[in-house]
Amino acid sequence: MRHYLQCGRFGFNLDSKALVMGILNVTPDSFSDGGSFNKLEFALSRAEEMVAAGAAMIDIGGESTRPGSPSVPLAEELQRVMPVVYALQGLGVPLSVDTCKPEVMREVLIAGADMINDVNGFRAPGALEAVRDSDCGLCIMHMQATPQTMQREPHYDDVVAEVIAFLRERIDAMTAAGIDRERICIDPGFGFGKTVAHNYTLLREIGRMRSELARPVLAGLSRKSMIGAVVGRPVEQRLAGSLAGALAAVAQGARIVRVHDVAETVDAIQVWQAATSFN
Ligand code: 7PM
């Protein structure tokens, strides 16, 4: 099994299938109204809906990584994420938490999270130590600069080589810290310090990332500006473009796609897989 991914309570053989990770936003702007009970009920029903639609994992995000946005204080991120991790324990699929903060990693792992998705690639002091002694899955994403500055002037001499070198360095740092490779998946980080051209170059070269680093690739391009730039549509009209992007990523060898529109993406991938032989 070249592509086994250990994810806390769960494990996936990704040799011959691609999975959909459903995005569950728990930032304040993703709720229309009021009380914390309502928020929790809403998060739970959204998550159940995504699982019924075929999501193989749920990614819980309490930190807005929107380009240019300020970082969220620790206490606030914990307040947003922890109740959701507890509420979703019985969902039956791995719970991933999108965070860069070692303190959040430790707390959500105690609460039963199965995966940590770090857009900062576990570079914060203490991040490796926070995840080392569990068996949670780990998504290492590439980002140039910080969310506050990354879209100002993205520059690379060779974007594919530089992203691969970064991910290789992080994999090496994690395995040197005693972390099993089977827990790691890698992500080129579409939109995180990249121009539209950089993003599509990376999309075309997912196969190279995968063969050089020998870990499953996770791709997140749902509704992103790289889709908008091609179709010329605002974020709420990017479903068809995002489906094409997800299939392109799978065709290039991605094994997990992180999306907002789970039902549609699952259908598209099922038809794609029925029509294609994976390798
Ligand atoms: C505003 C702008 C809000 C961008 C949210 C975003 C990825 C991720 C995000 C990704 C992994 C979004 C992003 N993107 N984690 N978290 N890979 N692993 O569009 O591409 O969801 S946040």
Chain segment 54-98, per-residue pLDDT in tens: 999 999 997 766 666 778 899 999 999 999 999 999 999 999 999
Catalytic residue list contains 17: no
How far apart are the CA of 65 and the centre of ligand 1, in A?
7
How far apart are the CA of 190 and the centre of ligand 1, in A?
8
Burial of 264 (0-12, 13-18, 19+ CB in 10 A): middle
Q: Strand runs (DSSP E) across the chain, as ranges?
A: 4-7, 10-13, 19-25, 57-61, 95-98, 115-118, 137-141, 184-187, 218-219, 256-259
Mean pLDDT score, 222-245:
98
CB within 8 Å of 191: residues ≥ 6 apart: 67, 151, 199, 221, 224, 225, 226
Catalytic position from the list 183, 224, 238, 255: 224
Say yes or no: CB of residue 224 within 6 Å of ligand 1: yes
pLDDT in tens, 4-62: 999 999 999 999 899 999 999 997 765 555 577 788 999 999 999 999 999 999 999 97
CB within 8 Å of 152: residues ≥ 6 apart: 145
Burial of 146 (0-12, 13-18, 19+ CB in 10 A): middle
Per the CB < 8 A criterion, the answer to whether 228 and 235 are in contact is yes
| Percentage of the residues of the chain whose pLDDT score is greater than 90 | 86
How far apart are the CA of 192 and the centre of ligand 1, in A?
8
Ligand 1 atom index nearest CA of 221: 20
Ligand 1 atom index nearest CA of 119: 15
User: Does the predicted TM-score (pTM) go above 0.85?
Assistant: yes
What residue's CA is closest to ligand 1, atom 14? Answer: 220
Q: What angle do CA 241, 59, 74 make, to 5 degrees?
A: 120
* CB half-sphere exposure, 245, CA atoms < 13 A: 31
What residue's CA is closest to ligand 1, atom 2? Answer: 66
Beta bridge partners of 115: 96, 137
Catalytic residue list contains 224: yes
Q: What is the per-residue pLDDT for 1? A: 53
Structure tokens at 117: 């998705």
Mean pLDDT score, 135-161:
95
| Percentage of the residues of the chain whose pLDDT score is greater than 70 | 95
Per the CB < 8 A criterion, the answer to whether 121 and 146 are in contact is no
| Cα(27)–Cα(61) distance, integer angstroms | 7
| Cα(187)–Cα(164) distance, integer angstroms | 10
How far apart are the CA of 175 and the centre of ligand 1, in A?
25
Q: Give the mean pLDDT of the chain.
A: 94
